[in-house]
Amino acid sequence: MAHHDHALLVIDVQNDFCPGGALPVPEGDAVVPVINRMLGEFPLRIFTQDWHPKDHLSFASAHPGKQPFETVEMPYGPQVLWPDHCVQGTEGADFHPDLDTTPGQLILRKGWRREIDSYSAFFENDRQTVTGLHGWLQEHGVKALTIVGLATDFCVHYSAVDAARLGYEVTVDERACRAIDLDGSLEKARAAMRAAGVRLVGG
């Protein structure tokens, strides 16, 4: 049974990350029924949403001559360039239509600053600019987080590692996650999560 200090963090289950979207995670939509079943087990439920302006600098389209999945150096370090995705106000940025967001107490939008990407639900990719999630969780007395959603090796991975670093007891339930797996990124992400003290279950 869930305790009052344990929250479910649902990462980026949006149309653009599901089959047919701009940046589809293979089987991304398979997480939806699993997450819907899990919602009742947690007293607090948070949904994150990638929410990019249309000229976001993590988009390959913002870099003439560059292709999606190439890497560029940004002021905060290397940045993978993505196809345009989760643009504010578009259908691609909407939650998957079958995802039950009704029980969510917080919907956190990230990646809305044009000049910086934001994989983690806690920090933008400069590792310093905060999203405000940590403060919200602290004010609600949350000590443990179960993290699910898309994609295991990017936004779930970065959120889990940051949560562990901030002192939460973190579980990633891989039954409700799917990965992009770019050049072995899933195994690297799993290793990084384990090294940070994250518990991986259901993989």
pLDDT tens digits, one per residue of 159-202: 999 999 999 999 999 999 999 998 899 999 999 999 999 999 99
At residue 29, φ and ψ (nearest 5 deg) are -75, -10
For residue 3, what pLDDT is reported? 66
Residues across the chain: 203
For residue 203, what pLDDT is reported? 76
Smallest CA-to-CA distance from 174 within 138, 149, 139, 140 is with 149
- CA distance linking residue 116 with residue 124, whole number of Å: 7
- CA distance linking residue 51 with residue 121, whole number of Å: 12
* Pairing of the two strands 6-11 and 144-150: parallel
92 HSE (CA, 13 A, CB side)? 19
Going from the N-terminus, what domains does the chain have, and what CATH number goes with each? 6-50+96-201 (3.40.50.850)
For residue 168, what pLDDT is reported? 98
Question: Across residues 106-122, what is the average pLDDT?
Answer: 96
pTM over 0.85: yes
The alpha carbon dihedral of 188, 14, 175, 146 has a sign of positive
Q: Specify the long-range contacts of residues 112-118, CB closer than 8 Å, at least 24 apart.
A: 112/51, 112/52, 112/53, 112/88, 114/53, 114/55, 114/56, 114/57, 115/57, 116/57, 116/74, 116/76, 117/56, 117/57, 117/58, 117/79, 118/50
Question: Across residues 103-115, what is the average pLDDT?
Answer: 97
The residues with which 52 forms a beta bridge, in sequence order, are 87
Percent over 70 (pLDDT), the chain:
99
Smallest CA-to-CA distance from 18 within 94, 125, 81 is with 94
pLDDT tens digits, one per residue of 39-69: 999 999 999 999 999 999 999 999 999 999 9
Instruction: Kindly list the catalytic residues.
Output: 12, 110, 155
Residue type, 129: T
Neighbours of 120 (CB within 10 A): 25
pLDDT tens digits, one per residue of 131-143: 999 999 999 999 9
Is residue 63 helix, strand or coil? coil
For residue 1, what pLDDT is reported? 45
For residue 182, what pLDDT is reported? 87
- CA distance linking residue 162 with residue 105, whole number of Å: 21
Taking all residues of the chain, what is their mean pLDDT, rounded to a whole number?
Answer: 96
